[in-house]
Amino acid sequence: MSAATGRETAVSTPQKTKRWDRKHTARLLTGLTHIGALVPLAVLLVEYFTSNLGVDPVREILFHTGTTALVLLVMSLAVTPVTIAFGWKQVIPLRRPLGLYAFFYVCLHLLTFVWLDYGFDLGFIIDGIVEQPFVLVGTAAFLLLIPLAITSTKGWQKRLGKRWKTLHKLSYLIIVLALIHFIWLVKNVYIEPGIYAGIVALLFLARWNPVKQKLLRWQRQVRTRLK
C-alpha cells in the first residue's frame, strides 16, 4: 500500500464513521420522538380507564389533547432554530413526525369537542363555534393544518416544488392561532400561555435574518474552538 493510499484511507474512515454516527443518531432521535409523542396518549388512556380524570373528564381530555398538540407544534417550530444555532442536522427529519403527531392530537381534541362535549349535534356545534371566539380560532387552526398534514410526504414536496415551502409557512399562522385559542380558553390564567408565547416569540426571532446570521457566526466560532 502506498503512502497516499494510506492517507486517503485514514481520511475516508473518520468521514464514513461520522456519517454513520449522524444516521444512527437521526434514527435514535426519530424513535424517541415516536415514543415521546405517544406517551401523553398512554397517560390519558390510563387516567381514563382508572377514572382519574377528575370531576369533569371531558374538560380534562380537551385540555390534555390541546396542550400536547401545542407542545408538539412548538417543538416542530424549534427544529430550524436548533439547526441554525447548533448545526444539529439530525433533528431536521423530526419536523415531519412532530407536525403529524400535533395534527393527530388536534384531531383527538376536535373529536372530543364534537362528540363528548356536543354529542355530534350539528346545530349545537355551529352555535358553539360562532358564539365562542376561542372555538372559532381553534377551528381555523385545525382547517389550516389539514393541507399541511396531507402534503407532508416527499411525493407532495416534489409535486409542489417551491410552492411546498410557501404552503408550509402556514405553520407560523397556525401556531399563533393555537396560542390565541389557548389564551382565550384559560381566560385569566396567563402564566402557562405566556410561557408558550415567549418560547414561540424566541423561535420566530431566531428566523429573523440579522439574528439568524449572528447565530450562524456563533455556531462557526464554537465549532472552530472545538476543533
- 26 within domain boundaries: no
Residue 6 has pLDDT above 60, yes or no: no
Which residue type occupies 157?
Answer: Q
Residue 72 has pLDDT above 60, yes or no: yes
- 189 within domain boundaries: yes
Q: Kindly state the average pLDDT of the residues 74-95.
A: 91
User: Can you tell me the distance from the alpha carbon of 84 to that of 62, in angstroms, rounded to the nearest whole number?
Assistant: 34
3 vs 102, more confident:
102
User: Can you tell me the distance from the alpha carbon of 154 to that of 192, in angstroms, rounded to the nearest whole number?
Assistant: 35
> What's the whole-model pTM score?
0.86
Output the nine-digit C-alpha cell for 197.
408565547
Q: Kindly state the average pLDDT of the residues 115-123.
A: 85
- 15 within domain boundaries: no
Residue 11 has pLDDT above 50, yes or no: no
Percent of the residues in the chain that have a pLDDT greater than 70, as a whole number: 89
Are 150 and 156 in contact, with CB atoms under 8 Å apart?
yes
Q: Terminal CA-to-CA distance of the chain, rounded, Å?
A: 30
Q: How confident is the model at residue 10 (pLDDT cuts 50, 70, 90)?
A: very low
Domain span holding position 51:
36-226
Q: Collapsing DSSP states into helix, strand and coil, what is residue 87?
A: coil
Average pLDDT of the chain is 87
Structural domain count of the chain: 1
Residue 195 has pLDDT above 70, yes or no: yes
- 107 within domain boundaries: yes
- State how far the alpha carbon of 134 is from the alpha carbons of 100, 129, 182, in Å: 23, 8, 8
pLDDT in the model for residue 14: 53
pLDDT in the model for residue 13: 53
- 52 within domain boundaries: yes
Which DSSP letter does residue 55 get?
S
pLDDT in tens, 35-70: 999 999 999 999 999 989 888 899 999 999 999 999
- 129 within domain boundaries: yes
Sign of torsion over alpha carbons 203, 205, 206, 207: positive
pLDDT in tens, 128-187: 888 888 899 999 999 999 999 999 988 999 998 889 989 999 999 999 999 999 988 887
